[in-house]
Structure 1
Amino acid sequence: MSDLLKAIRYQHPERLPVSVSLLPATWARHGDALTRICQRYPELFGNVASDAATSYYTPPSYHAGQFTDPWGCVWSNVAEGYESIVTGHPLPHRQDVRKLRAPDVDMGLPHGFMFLRLMDLRGFEEIMVDFAEEPPELQLLIDIVRDYNVRQMKLMLKKSRDELIYVGDDNGMQDALPISPAKWRKYLKPAYKAIYDVAHADGRLVYMHTDGCIFEVMPDMQEAGADMINPQIRANGLDNLVRVCRGRIPINLDLDRQLFPFASPERVREHIFECVRALYLPEGGLGLTAECGADVPLDVIDMICRTLSEARDFHI
């Protein structure tokens, strides 16, 4: 059993689970220099080939240009190696929801499969008005997206025997939820539970990535079936995460990606160990992950890797 699974189950992982994510734009900017850093830390990256910088994996949405997904959402991207955003919403008017049919194409559960999908379909302002006014079309839209996602989860489970199922859907903004916790519990919690119940019925665990300020509903996410949550430190605050999660909700902490581009390597090292000291328990419940964009200096990336490698062996 991996240390991450032991951490989720509070079964005393031998080492603190850690990971580093390097975005396609980061590879494109730093190239061979980034490859050399990765080769210094096989415990984080495995055996990295010397040509890794020129053959990095780029998802379709990270290419410059436009494309339309099976839901009819138009995605636009102005720079290679960065994520696209939805600029064309297929349901601009509330009554359009009544004509919506879920795609026949099976997309799986890409990032933004539930809450963000509602925004992508209606547009941010329109879906916020829907949550404020609570028309019947809101629940209808949620039901259509939820049922499609339940089908996708069933298909995913047939294709993979992995014990841990990874999903991602950003629910928060920088300083708050975009809707009230009460409305999140009313509308989103049942939808996630219906999807995650499928995984649990098959004996799987669910890892939920979700950006933004979410600490107010993290216990609800757990009740809905998220066995481990991947929250952002900057958006939620270390004190809130300690209060809500330590010893209660397993988290894979997303370290401060808003700090990395501007801080010294020494400050980044201090930040990582501050988080470890505050959240670590020998029995588990904690992992650490760092995402490095193209604006993170190489010496900071190297320090992140070095510090996380050391943090693996942290003990109180």
Structure 2
Amino acid sequence: KKQGDLASGSLVHGFMYMWLYYLRGFNNFMLDIGSREPKLNHLIEMVLDYNLKLVNKWIEIGAEAIYFGDDLGTQKSLPISPADWRKYLKPCYRKIFGVCQDAGVYVYLHSDGHILEIIDDLIECGVNIINPQIRANGFEELAKFKGKICIHLDLDRQLFPFARPEEIKSHIQEAVNKLNSQEGGLMLHAECEPDVPLENIEAICQVLE
């Protein structure tokens, strides 16, 4: 903070939705939702209360932004219907992010997978910055949200090992052209694993500059 950066905190990755299926097992959790298992509500409340305590502690010690990560989608869809997500999970995010909003704390949310159907809901819940996967959501669809929220785009890391430098430059330029907005803002994230050729890493750096 003394260096001009926001004082930030974070919760463990998978803080809400993923924790529920860690505790129940993924198949059991899906069955709980599908069968409207009454005990599921109690489990959700337990995880929610724990997260609220952590968020309040971060705010108490001076956090100005809090990072949340919860992989809400698969590569092609949400694993549960948007209606079920709104029934069971949206109230949790609204409460957690609402505490941040009330304290003037920025909310950063990372999610792997396809989440297009619920991005407006996440904005409504109080997300300021969202970190989606481009491959699972697509430029054209994500462009519908520019200006509504700051997009911190996870560039296509599956493209980096195999594409030509020119293709990578085109990919990044397309991200800027389609998603940049003064109202919301755009940040780009390029994760390069050991199998990415050096010439491709150089291309990424050149176009980002």
Whether these two folds match at TM > 0.5 is: yes
Instruction: Pick the aligned partner of 2:188 from 253, 272, 288.
Output: 288
Instruction: Pick the aligned partner of 2:106 from 197, 205, 215.
Output: 205
Structure 2: gaps of 5 or more residues: none
* Separation of aligned partners in 2, 1:249 and 1:186: 23
Structure 1: gaps of 5 or more residues: 6-107, 310-316
Which one has the largest radius of gyration? 1
Q: Is the 8 A contact 1:196 1:225 kept in 2?
A: yes
Q: Which position in structure 1 is the counterpart of 2:58?
A: 156
Q: Which position in structure 1 is the counterpart of 2:116?
A: 215
* Separation of aligned partners in 1, 2:57 and 2:183: 34
Instruction: Pick the aligned partner of 1:251 from 151, 169, 183.
Output: 151
Which has the higher relative contact order, 1 or 2, with Cα contacts under 8 A spaced 6 or more apart?
1
* Separation of aligned partners in 1, 2:51 and 2:64: 19
- CA RMSD in angstroms comes to 1.7
Deviations 1:252-277 (A, max 9, x none): 11111121121122211110001111
Q: Which position in structure 1 is the counterpart of 2:68?
A: 167
Q: Is the 8 A contact 1:219 1:249 kept in 2?
A: no
Q: Is the 8 A contact 1:170 1:210 kept in 2?
A: yes
* Separation of aligned partners in 1, 2:23 and 2:163: 38
**How many percent identity over aligned positions?**
51
Q: Is the 8 A contact 2:149 2:184 kept in 1?
A: no
Q: Say whether residues 1:126 and 2:28 are aligned partners.
A: yes
Deviations 1:153-173 (A, max 9, x none): 1111223x3422211111000
Q: Is the 8 A contact 2:146 2:184 kept in 1?
A: no
Deviations 1:194-229 (A, max 9, x none): 111221221111011111000110000111111111
Q: Which position in structure 2 is the counterpart of 1:229?
A: 130
How many positions carry a matched residue from both structures?
Answer: 202
Q: Say whether residues 1:242 and 2:149 are aligned partners.
A: no
Q: Is the 8 A contact 2:134 2:155 kept in 1?
A: yes
User: 1:16-95 to 2 correspondence within 5 Å?
Assistant: none
Letter in 1 for 2:26: F
TM-score, normalised relative to structure 1: 0.61
Q: Say whether residues 1:266 and 2:166 are aligned partners.
A: yes
Q: Which position in structure 1 is the counterpart of 2:200?
A: 300
